[in-house]
Amino acid sequence: MNLKNIVVLAMVFVSLVACKESSKQSKQVANSEVSTEENTKLEEVFSDSTYQLTGVAVAKDNRVFVNYPYWLDTHSYSVVEVKDGKPIPYPNAEWNSFKKGEDGQNKFVTVQSVVTDDKGFLWVVDAAGIGLGKVYQHSSKVVKINLANNKIEKIYRFPKNVVSEDVYINDIRVDNENGFAYLSNSNTGGIVVLNINTGDSRLVLANSPSVKSDPNYYFSPLGTELKKGDGSLLKVNSDGIALTPDNQYLYYKPLTDNRLYRIKTDLLRDFKTGEAVLNKSVEDLGKFITTDGMIFDKKGNLYLGDLEKNSIVKITPDLKMQTIVKDDEKLIWPDSYSISDDGYLYISNSQIQLMPWFHDGKEQFKRPFKVFRIKI
C-alpha cells in the first residue's frame, strides 16, 4: 500500500471516529436538554407601569392579588387586589399607608409575598426589611386575611430568636391539614416553621449547607455574573419553597445556585426534632436551574422559573425537567407563582436584575411590570 492510500485510510478512520464521538456527544446533550411544550402562550393578566411587584396569588374564584415590596423610594401600596385591571389596596388603605418613621406593627412595611390557601385565606408575608435592610422595629409578621369578608383573621409575630433583625422572611407555604406554615429566610438562610394554631415558631436548618447559596456558582441572569453596587457578587440563600400535594415534603433551594433540596415535614412539625437530625434528613435532589419562587400542582409537578434563561420549567415527580415556555422579552426574572382552579399558572415578573442596585444606581427596568398566566 502506497503512502497516498495510507493517508486516505487514516483520514477515513479519523472521520468515522469523529462522527461516532459527535453522535455520542449529541446524544448526551439531548438527554440533558429540556424540551419545550408547544402552543403554550403567555397571557397578560395585569401590568403596573410605576411600581415594582414581586408576588401574585389567585383565589378560588379567580380573584387576583399582587404585592409590592418597599425596596426602592418609588413605592406606594404593598398589597392590592386587581379589579378591572386596576390595583386596589387590600384589605384596606390603612394597612397600605405605612411611611418610614411610623409604627409598622399594624401596617404593611415590606411585603415580600402573597399566597392563597385551600380554605379561602390570603397569607401576606411582611419581611419588614425596607430596601432589603434589617427588620424595621421588629415589625416582621405574617397576616392571615379571610377572603370571604376581607377581614384580618390573625397576625402572626415572631420572637427575636426566630426572626432576628437579620432574618428576611421571604416565601410561605401553608398546610392547613396539619396546622403548619413554612417560610424561607433568604438573607442568612433557614426555614421558619410556624404552628398556625398556637402561633409557636422556630428557625431550623440555619446552618445547613442546603440553605446556603453555593459560592462557586456563577449566577448570570444578564449573561455575566450579577454584581451589587459595591462590586460583590449577588448571593441569595434559601428563597423558593414548595409543599408537595400530600404535604409530606417541603422542597426548597437557594436562589443563586441550581441545587434543589427537600425534607420530610413530619420532622419539621415536631419541635423536639434536633438540628442534627434535621441536617441529616435533608435530601439533595441534584442540579436543575436557578429560580426565585416555585410551586407544585395537584399532580406533583414542580414549576420553577429559570432566571438565567427567561423560561418556566416543570420538574415531574420522577425529576425529569421540561421547559414549558421561554420568552426573553416577557419573562424578566419570573418571581412568584400561583395556580388557579381552572388550571392556569400565574407568574409575576419582578425584573430584579434590572434594579439600580446592579447598575450604578440607575434603573434599567423595562416598564411596565407584568403578571402573566399560562395554561398547564
The model's pTM: 0.90
pLDDT in tens, 223-234: 999 999 899 999
Q: Which amino acid is at 111?
A: V
Label residue 205 exposed, middle or buried (CB < 10 Å: 0-12, 13-18, 19+): buried
Residue 40: pLDDT band with limits 50, 70, 90: confident
pLDDT-derived band of residue 38, with 50, 70 and 90 as boundaries? low
Residue 9 reports pLDDT greater than 50: no
DSSP 255-319: TTS-EEEEEEHHHHH-TT--HHHHHHH-EEEEE----S-EEE-TTS-EEEEETTTTEEEEE-TT-
